[in-house]
Structure 1
Amino acid sequence: MPEPTIAVLDVDGTLVDSNYQHALAWYRALRSLGETFPIWRIHRLIGMGGDQLVRALGGDDVEKRIGDEARERWVEEVDKIIHEIAPLPGARDLLVAIKERGHRLVLASSGKPQHVDHFVDLLGGRDLADAITSSEDAEASKPEPDLLEVALEKLGVAPDADSVMIGDSVWDVEAAKKAGMPTIVVRSGGFGDDELKDAGAVGIYDTPGDLAEHLDDTPLA
């Protein structure tokens, strides 16, 4: 029998509906430090790790002056509204469908450990995941591939193991491409289909539930 495929799933924005809360949290954190950016610009960067977002948004000067403090305040702002975040439609169904097909499952998040724990419990995913990652597991976050490489290391498999990424942003696709993984995407990241296809997505679905219903049309059949 062939080895099971490894499904590496992004959590924030892919399984739980958190992208707009994160954008708002970044807006409030940065504004509290005297830097106000249009929230649409922040939203376009959600999915990129916080270690890179401030520089991508405001340049080296803003990163140098307030980067670390902005990240600390972002955590505080997320804590205030985390109760508003809910699973996306069919999120747990997708996890169950992947496991029922015999694949291995990693919940790969670059979020803070306490946020990741909250979301995994919200999904009821702790009993389904073969491994879970957080920001503590990698030096650089997406669009760098570190977190995906760590996900495979946690399973004790080679970097070229048969694996598929499931995400919601162009940053997920770019990170997976660097790690040698094809990426299936759900539309909850707010990116256009053309953007996702141009980045390299091999499949695009409305929701995790929609993907679960069509899983046999993907590399996770």
Structure 2
Amino acid sequence: MAESTTPPGGPRRGVLFDVDGTLIDSSYIHTIAWWNAFRQYGHDVPMAAIHQLVGMGGARLVDTLLPDGRNRDEDEDIMASHGALYASHWPSLRTLDGAKDLLGQCHAGGLAVALASSARERDLQVMRSVLDADSFIDAATSANDAEESKPAPDILEAALEAVGVEAANAVYVGDAVWDMKAAGALGIPAIGLTCGGIQAAQLREAGAVEVFDGPRQLLQNLGSSAIGRLLALQPHRQEG
């Protein structure tokens, strides 16, 4: 095996971003889509219970919320119903305040930027269109890129590989407990955002090293954040 070489200025560094609830204001849309999908198949699951699991992969979410004795043949249909119901809300999707600027600042600082999302490919493409920040994004993952969904770290591993960044040189930004756990499995510092509706204490308990209200507040405190420490190591970084 050939020895790896370190590029001038040190190893490549990067930031991985969850998308749903982190950059796009979609967590509660997912909640109501799941709620209606469950009801279509006779399952009355409280919205609060659903919301706590948004960010998990669909199969894992269904298996966690529904009883063991259910007709599992319906699981795929429930997930398909959720997908269709969520898609009906595509026109309502909005970027969270500061999201595009945050991606742009990380990119301008010389960091690789990857979207580490477990969303369906077509949902991801819609969200990328809403973000309108492709010039700042080096790579993106979807559910197609992982065998296991969060809290398993497969999606993060795929995103790291896509941008050529080692876990030791990365930071992850997400809004769910499952994001924090996935990052922790790889030893990646995770920044939690409460804009997805999960409380700061829950994110910290799950492993977040820092917690902010949303992309704008993280951007305003970028220099003192875990991302700022990566930026400080970058040669010739742009100030702005």
Q: Normalising TM by the smaller chain, what interval? A: over 0.9
Q: In structure 1, what is the equivalent of residue 44 of structure 2?
A: 36
Aligned match of 1:120: 128
Alignment of 1:85-104 (within 5 A): 85-104=93-112
Is the Cα–Cα contact under 8 Å of residues 12 and 165 in structure 2 kept in the other structure?
no
CA distance in 1, matches of 2:71, 2:19: 26
Is this contact kept in 2: 1:21–1:78, CA < 8 A? Answer: yes
1:106 to 96, 103, 114: 114
SS of residue paired to 2:68 = helix
Query: How far apart in 1 are the matches of 2:113 and 2:217?
Result: 18
> Matched residues in 2 for 1:88 and 1:125: separation?
13
Q: Looking at CA atoms only, which structure, 1 or 2, has the larger radius of gyration?
A: 2
Structure 1 residue ranges without an equivalent (≥5) = none
Alpha-carbon distance between aligned partners in 2 of 1:174 and 1:152, rounded to the nearest angstrom: 16
**193-202 or 60-69: bigger deviation:** 60-69
Q: Is the 8 A contact 1:5 1:220 kept in 2?
A: no
- Given candidates 141, 164, 168, the residue that maps to 1:156 is 164
Alpha-carbon distance between aligned partners in 2 of 1:207 and 1:34, rounded to the nearest angstrom = 36
Q: Please report how far the alpha carbon of residue 161 of structure 1 lies from its aligned counterpart in structure 2 after TM superposition.
A: 4.1
Cα RMSD between the aligned structures? 1.3
AA aligned to 1:202 is V
Distance 1:29 1:109 in 2: 22
* Aligned-residue offset at 1:100: 1.4
Does residue 55 (structure 1) correspond to residue 97 (structure 2)? The answer is no
- One-letter code aligned to 1:186: L
TM-score using structure 2 length: 0.88
TM-superposed deviation, 1:69: 0.8
Distance 2:174 2:11 in 1: 23
Aligned partners of 1:127 and 1:115: how far apart in 2? 19
Identity of matched residues, %? 37
For 2:197 and 2:97, the matched residues in 1 are separated by 16
- CA distance in structure 1 between the aligned counterparts of 2:29 and 2:203, rounded to whole angstroms: 22
Amino acid at match of 1:156: G
Match of 1:169 in 2: 176
**C-alpha separation between the residues in 2 aligned to 1:27 and 1:37?**
7
The match for 1:214 is 221
Gaps of 5+ in 2: 1-8, 229-240
The residue number in structure 2 matching 1:19 is 27
SS in 2 for 1:53: helix
Q: Distance in 2 between matches of 1:81 and 1:204?
A: 28
Alpha-carbon distance in structure 1 between the residues aligned to 2:183 and 2:125: 23
Q: CA deviation at 1:214?
A: 0.8
Aligned length: 220
**Partner residue in 2 for 1:181:** 188
Aligned equivalents of 2:67 and 2:155: distance in 1?
Answer: 24
CA distance in 2, matches of 1:207, 1:141: 23
DSSP-derived class of the 1:184 partner? strand
Cα distance per residue 1:139-169 (max 9 Å; x no partner): 11111100000111112344x4411110001
